[in-house]
Amino acid sequence: MRSTANNGGYRDRRSMKHVLDNVHGYIYLDPLFLQFIDTEQFQRLRDLKQLGLTHMVYPGAAHSRFEHSLGVYWLAGEAVNKINFYQGQELGIEEFDRNTVKLAGLLHDIGHGPFSHMFEREFLPRVLDGYEWSHEDMSLKMIEYIVDKHCIDIDSAILKTAKEMILASSEHGPEKSMTEKRFLYDIVANGRTEIDVDKFDYIVRDSRACGIGSGFQFERLMETMRVMDDEICYRANEYLTLHKLFATRADLHRTVYTHPKVKAIELMVVDALCYANADLGIAASIQKPSEFWKLDDSILKWIETSDSDSPSLKEAKNLIQRIRKRDLYQYCNQFSVPKDKLENFKDITPQDIICSQKSGGVTLKEEDVAVSTVKIDLTHGRMNPLERQVGFYQDYDSSEKFRIPDDRISHLLPRFFQDRIVRVYAKKPELVEAVAEAFENYQVKTYGCKAQVHATPDKKKARKQLEYQYQTDRQ
């Protein structure tokens, strides 16, 4: 996809650099944005894998936030150009608008921590006692730090607006009372409909990297975007394309991002980072951009090769070495929370599981069990985002926007839009049977029956017992 819409013609590319991207083809980089790209803080994104630890299960998922950020930058510019080509005169789109949207796309992930969202959602809350931190807020601090450190010459109004656009989809985002060109804030991080170029890029990029086919075509949506009442709307016959966007995202969450083994590795890395935090001050780095930018995925290698005699670092190192040897926390089983129980669902803890253990040969402790609760939806909880949030128009001559309920499109589309899956892991292989049985007891106690679909395989229980016995005999 090549951009032809910029004040009615091609941009002068003599002053640009270009890179060949495996998703979008050639991406052209303006000098304004190269000021940010050619800094050590932005180059750090090369050392942050887009999917965190997923590459340990899907080997191809080794792409970085660097290439994703370039992809979002490019699509953000293409989106503005498409809208400008068809409606630029009536909307008053200017070079300032193009630059702010592209800058927001380029820098939207500059404040990301290591290992994808695991750092902010699982590690930091544990070591900082529930302290709320978001990579979007950190992105704003990193942008200010980069501008000051590298004396970047940029219009302060462009910088301010780009930072507001980065926060547009977060709960800390700008006030929704903005009245001028509000649609521009929906291109990179759409807080209204969740349809944005960030998702366009990562859904296609992640699917390709993991070797998973995807029928989602963002190009169709880019061609039919139209601004009506300061909102980006789509042609009605693209309803199923938009549904495919949300369905593909949900499928990636189920089969890739929250794969049982991926979650097992994440649980182990969180434990390792918690052990190492006291010695390395990992969490403290979030307070200063000058320290935060030095933090990336290589921290595991640093821990693994450390010569420190610290007991905590030794525990962390042991966990990382277990991951290398594929001695993972053992997935015991899972169940999907019944639909009628979702409203008042409370997170299940290891304490809940061990309190459900009946008499047996092993007495479980809280530190023997790990619980992962996964929520998968279409971005709006139990609501259908298309039915209530997204504006449609009939054809290119239409001047009226409207919402479309699912039943006007197909009776095959889902009627419920959220899954919550509870998974339980044994931290030691010899405890698989005891943890699995305690988990089943918990389900019976809570729901009156076993909610899980499959029993924990007897052969897995027996194999883990034999492996443990073999290791014990060798010692």
Res 468 pLDDT > 70: no
Coarse DSSP helix, strand, coil percentages of the chain, rounded to the nearest 5 percent: 50, 10, 35
Alpha-carbon span 232 to 384, nearest angstrom: 18
Reported as type and span, the H/E element at residue 458 is helix 458-474
Reported as type and span, the H/E element at residue 14 is none
Query: What is 1-327's CATH number?
Result: 1.10.3210.10
Token duo for residue 438? 């305690």
The residue with tokens 């299940």 is 348
Pairing of strands 231-235, 392-393: parallel
Cα distance between the two ends of the chain:
62
CATH architecture of 329-405+413-475: 2-Layer Sandwich (3.30)
How many residues are present in the chain? 475
Res 16 pLDDT > 80: yes
Half-sphere exposure in the Cβ direction for 205 (13 Å, CA): 26
Radius of gyration of the CA atoms of the chain, in A: 24
Half-sphere exposure in the Cβ direction for 22 (13 Å, CA): 12
Helical H runs in 260-414? 260-280, 289-292, 299-304, 311-324, 350-354, 385-388
Alpha-carbon span 119 to 272, nearest angstrom: 12
Residue 373 backbone phi and psi in degrees, to 5: -110, 120
**135 catalytic residue (yes or no):** yes
Domain ranges of the chain: 1-327, 329-405+413-475
C-alpha 267 chain-centroid distance = 16
Q: Is 329-405+413-475 the same fold as 1-327? A: no
Alpha-carbon span 205 to 162, nearest angstrom: 24
Segment 421-462, tens digit of pLDDT: 999 999 999 999 999 999 999 999 988 888 888 888 776 666
Res 14 pLDDT > 90: no
Helical H runs in 11-155? 31-37, 40-43, 65-91, 95-107, 118, 124-127, 135-149
* pLDDT value, residue 332: 95
Q: Is the dihedral of CA 280, 286, 290, 296 positive or negative?
A: positive
How sure is the predictor about 2, in pLDDT bands with cuts at 50, 70 and 90?
very low
Alpha-carbon span 272 to 242, nearest angstrom: 40
Segment 124-154, tens digit of pLDDT: 999 998 788 999 999 999 999 999 999 999 9
Token duo for residue 36? 């940010």
Catalytic annotation, pick one of 24, 63, 112, 135: 135
Which residues does residue 57 pair with via DSSP β-bridges, in sequence order? none
Segment 245-255, tens digit of pLDDT: 999 999 999 99
The Cα angle at residue 457 between residues 452 and 462, in degrees rounded to 5: 140
- Backbone region of residue 444 per phi and psi (left: phi > 0; alpha: psi in -120 to 50; beta: other values): alpha
How sure is the predictor about 5, in pLDDT bands with cuts at 50, 70 and 90?
very low
Segment 162-205, tens digit of pLDDT: 999 999 876 555 554 455 899 999 999 998 999 999 999 999 99
